Amino acid sequence: MTRAKLVTKPKRHVILIAYYFPPSEKIGGNRAFRFYKYLKRMGYLCHVITASEQSSNCPPEITCVTDRLQRRWEGAARQRFSFSASVELLVRKLAFPGQIGIMWSIAVAARCRQIIRDNPEHEFVIVCSYPALGVLLAGLIIAAVERIPWIADFRDPIAGLLLSHTPGYARFWDRVVERAVFRSAAAIVANTEGAATIWRFRYPCAHLKLHVIPNGFDPEDAPQPLEIPTRPEKLIVHAGTLYHGRNPNAVVRSLSRLRDNGVPEASVVRILLTGSIASNSGLDLVLCEQARRDGWLELREPVPREECLRILAEADGFLMLQPQSGIQVPAKLFEYICIGRPILALLHRSSSVAEILRNSGVPYVCIHPEDEPELIDHQFTDFLRLPTSPTPSSEWFKSNFSVEYQTQALSLIIESLG
């Protein structure tokens, strides 16, 4: 009797489309890079297409498709408008204000098709890591012309459908794109259970292809605490952009009141906000300017990532700002928890951040901007009294938010596509 040979089906090739990708320091590139790194370890052959400029010695499977319009939209260039720039400008004005990669998506789709034609003996899956909008448009284009399954990985939901200040016409077109993605993609990945809950209600027919893979950290590259330098005050740090609704007003007002009331712990605290401040952040400029003059608030321009991580590793505590959304979880939360020093979180009352903090093992205090000032001041004082020695994160946190767990989940999705 002859024993049948077990035939193992070869793994699909993965084409990963990510607008941002290292060596770019944009935090949005971290998730895509980690998927790339660990999928390769699992035996997948990965091709990466990105708008981020690459070094001359980057691996051959990483291709930079330059978005020639990006620098113009970011205000770094003033070249004359080409035809494609004029088209994108029109589309941005009529449908997608602030979105990038619209015309870039056409070149990316062409590059994907070339990779597929160059490897006719292999099966492929496309993974599109949003934002920017162009990665979703590229997935839609490829799905329209090739019989290739694609996965829409939402590191964040489409911004216009979360922000109340988004113009009505933009919300309409964002919803059109979202519906098209849910119809076309073979799988949808949300980064929080809150976002997935909204989508399950909005698209009940897509229930079976909707998955949740949270953001997280790479245990091989997780920031570690450093010794706190000798200084006359406790340093509380927020690292990241302040934009619509994300501002520290409630925290700054509370610390101002505590100082005026002579609370001892408040007199030896300095808050450092490092990062860009958008004009629509709602930051109380008068209050912050007074705090800056008094010497207990510092507003610092963005610094290189290595310097930012050093500042965090030497901080006495951290400020987490997410009062504008109960759904999203900022990526910096995972860096804070890995370092392990106390976290003061200004949150929406139903925030997904709160559950992570509760189970992280790291000391924290949550405050809500709508609470009475007396309660906020009491909670802030509790935070200032927490010891600053680092606390290791819990096993729950490590097992749920390690990139190894996340990539295994993505691999299962890829294999389930048949």
Q: Which of 48, 145, 61 is nearest to 106 (CA)?
A: 145
Model pLDDT, residue 1: 43
Per-residue pLDDT averaged across 317-332, rounded? 86
Residues 7-53 pLDDT 10s: 566 788 999 999 999 998 888 889 999 999 999 999 999 999 999 99
Could you identify the residue written with the tokens 């988004």?
A: 166
**Superfamily for domain range 13-216+402-416:** Glycogen Phosphorylase B; (3.40.50.2000)
- High-pLDDT (> 90) share of the chain, %: 62
Per-residue pLDDT averaged across 384-413, rounded? 94
CATH architecture of 234-397: 3-Layer(aba) Sandwich (3.40)
Predicted confidence (pLDDT) at residue 142 exceeds the cutoff of 60: yes
Weakest-pLDDT range from 31-40, 77-86, 204-213: 77-86
pLDDT bracket for residue 158 (50, 70, 90): confident
Phi, psi (rounded to 5 degrees) for 125: -135, 140
Helix axes 168-184, 133-145, angle to 10 degrees: 40
Model pLDDT, residue 387: 95
Burial class of 256 by CB neighbour count within 10 A (0 to 12, 13 to 18, 19+): middle
Record the pTM: 0.87
Domain pair 13-216+402-416 / 234-397, same fold: yes
Per-residue pLDDT averaged across 335-344, rounded? 96
Model pLDDT, residue 78: 58
Residues 163-193 pLDDT 10s: 556 677 778 888 888 999 999 999 999 998 8
The structural domains of the chain, with segments of one domain joined by +, span 13-216+402-416, 234-397
Q: Are the C-beta atoms of 17 and 49 separated by less than 8 Å?
A: yes
